[in-house]
Amino acid sequence: MDMQKIKLLLFFLIFLLTINAGYAFSNCQFKYDSDKRSLPELRGMCNVCHFSPNGAGPQNEFGRAFKGAGFKITDQLVKQFPEFFKQPEDNSQNSPGTEEPLSPSITRIKPPKVKIGSMIALKIQGKNFIEGAKALIDNNETLTTFKSNILLIVNFVFNAAGIHEIKVQNPDGSESNTVKIKVKDTTKNK
């Protein structure tokens, strides 16, 4: 092959890769960002659908499910991945005329199992979290980042193996249910 044909072939390959990346972005990121239920703090972030923050490479669990749904935000996706969407408020517990706030509730903690001595970012998913909510691990207050009324993040190092209890306390003093997390000691296997 002469040099001009090689240059043309390379240009064509780069063009195809660029179109493919643009197509993926338009299908995933744009559709997520434009959905009224998407979380504002996650809009424009490629790692909503991909493992990599720059959007390249394999898709995460949500990205695969989103692709499987034809790049459409469905009610099923919103229910299946509550950490990525605003959830409808459940006011069924309050009777009309009462102003009692709803208690926080934990539905899931990710990951459910962790290793001893490792810094881990725990995602506490649930509902009715209020700005200023704090996670309590074994009844000890921990530094907690409020992301939304359904998501809190806790960066924590567990120093003891076994089962630990986590609950959330809102600033008004209301507390959530207790969820257990398993901490493994991986040093014993060595």
Residue 25: the pLDDT is 47
How many whole angstroms separate alpha carbon 170 and alpha carbon 130? 6
**Would the pLDDT of 118 be above 60?**
yes
Residue 53: strand pairing partners: none
Could you tell me whether strands 179-184 and 113-115 are parallel, antiparallel, or unpaired per DSSP bridges? Answer: parallel
- Among 144, 69, 154, which residue's Cα sits nearest to residue 109? 154
Instruction: Map out the domains of the chain as residue ranges.
Output: 3-84, 105-189
Q: Give the pLDDT band (50/70/90) at residue 19.
A: very low
Q: Which CATH superfamily is domain 105-189 in?
A: Immunoglobulins (2.60.40.10)
pLDDT of 16: 56
- Confidence band, pLDDT 50/70/90 cuts, at residue 5: confident
Please report, as a single letter, which amino acid is at residue 185: D
What the block records as the tokens of 15 is 């063009």
Give the amino acid at 20: N
Is this prediction's pTM over 0.85?
Answer: no
Q: Give all strands (DSSP E) within the chain, no chain letters.
A: 105-110, 113-115, 119-127, 134-137, 140-142, 145-148, 151-157, 162-169, 179-184
